Amino acid sequence: MAIPLADRVTRIKESPSTAATQRVRDLRAEGVDVLSLTVGEPDFDTPDHVKAAAEAAIRSGQTKYTSVNGTPELQHAILDRVERRIGLRYSSGELAVGGGGKQVIFLALMATVQDGAEVIIPAPYWVSYPDMVAANDGHPVIVPTREKDGFLLTPEALAEAITARTTWLILNSPGNPTGAVYGRAELAALAEVLREHPQVNVLTDEIYDEISFGTEPVPGLLQVAPDLRDRVLLINGVSKAYAMTGWRIGYGVGPAQLVKAMNTLQSQVSTCPSSVSQAAAAAALSGDQSFVAEANEIYRRRRDLVVAGINAIPGLGCTTPEGAFYVYVSCGDVLGTTAPDGRVIDSDEALTLYLLDRARVAVVHGAAFGLSPYFRISFATSEDVLHAALAQVAEALAELR
């Protein structure tokens, strides 16, 4: 007899990007040579001084439980980093630390969302946002954005989406899957709308804020509208900027009442994050930052390579992302074509399956991110892989009729 499952599990699905990456692993285990452009993590190794800090923590016996929101060293490193970044000082009572930014976001939604509360999520979105809301009995309100608007939520669309049940707006900048960045003017316009609706809180996911290609640092909502501080939870972590995805350290700073509730949940979920990972994260945030700048220059070259390559392939097109390490590829002109084996390419998911089968290139379909017809490429891989993948995609698309 099967164990009955709770509704919160049956109404969500596995992360599509995780599923795509696992499919690549399975094919490779079968001996199939696949070029993967699916994974949302840097291909670089964690910086040596960060690894050294973890080794030192192990050798000195820093392998015990810590405070629910981290060691004093990590707390100071995070709060100093936030102040350098946005000019606002937070206390340790306004800080939550978890096993990656994903867990911190989930804790925030668990602490606040229930009984059909609405959460506004601009699309395309990171694949986990809607399911996290649904898992916590909320209702994700998906607001499509337009490529001609830079995939940015407009103040008009925000105002139209807000109802009396709206609890949160989720803003992700730089964005996954588009690399879109909200500038100061766009953030100020959104803030004007938010001031008219005091019941709406804002979760700003800034996990990619160090990976940007503009002349100025990526601005945050609180830099533009510090008066909204008591309604904003800022999420970040060390995974993307420092190539530390597997170390699983993320954090959030925000109103003390909310953070206290999140930390209470965390105390029951996992007690605290890994003490060794905390030591590594403290070193990453407070130590030598040259790795970040060097990685950004490599990402910039890869971005330019992919954008030029995609726009040279008939039927495909893309805008140039301003941050993160993704390109969101428009593929509407390919839909309706027929593959050599007779299958009709009638959706972006069908196209990605065709590319996997025919080109041996793995990407993630746009429907997974809530906006079709597109697919996402991650350029967090070597230029050799990117060159080969683009060539194989072009060859496979040329066979469509």
Is residue 309 located within the same domain as residue 282?
A: no
Is residue 273 located within the same domain as residue 297?
A: no
pLDDT of the residue at 302: 98
What is the maximum span of the chain, computed from C-alpha positions, in angstroms?
A: 64
Is residue 122 located within the same domain as residue 37?
A: no
Full domain range(s) for residue 105: 64-286
- Tokens describing residue 51: 């690894």
Is residue 91 located within the same domain as residue 123?
A: yes
Each of the 401 residues of the chain gets a pLDDT tens digit; together they read 789 999 888 888 887 777 777 878 887 788 888 999 998 999 999 999 999 999 999 999 999 999 999 999 999 999 999 999 999 999 999 999 999 999 999 999 999 999 999 999 999 999 999 999 999 999 999 999 999 999 999 999 999 999 999 999 999 999 999 999 999 999 999 999 999 999 999 999 999 999 999 999 999 999 999 999 999 999 999 999 999 999 999 999 999 999 999 999 999 999 999 999 999 999 999 999 999 999 999 999 999 999 999 999 999 999 999 999 999 999 999 999 999 999 999 999 999 999 999 999 999 999 999 999 999 999 999 999 999 999 999 999 999 99
pLDDT of the residue at 32: 80
pLDDT of the residue at 14: 80
| Residue 325: inside a domain | yes
Domain count along the chain = 2
Q: What angle do CA 256, 127, 304 make, to 5 degrees?
A: 105
pLDDT of the residue at 316: 98
pLDDT of the residue at 21: 74
pLDDT of the residue at 75: 98
Q: Whole-model pTM above 0.85?
A: yes
Is residue 381 located within the same domain as residue 394?
A: yes
Alpha carbons 171 and 194: distance in angstroms, whole number: 13
Q: DSSP states of 262-320 as a string?
A: HHHHHHHHTSSS-HHHHHHHHHHHHS--HHHHHHHHHHHHHHHHHHHHHHTSTT-B-PP
- Domain containing residue 91: CATH number: 3.40.640.10
Where does a domain end: 244, 264, 286? 286
pLDDT of the residue at 229: 98
Is residue 250 located within the same domain as residue 325?
A: no
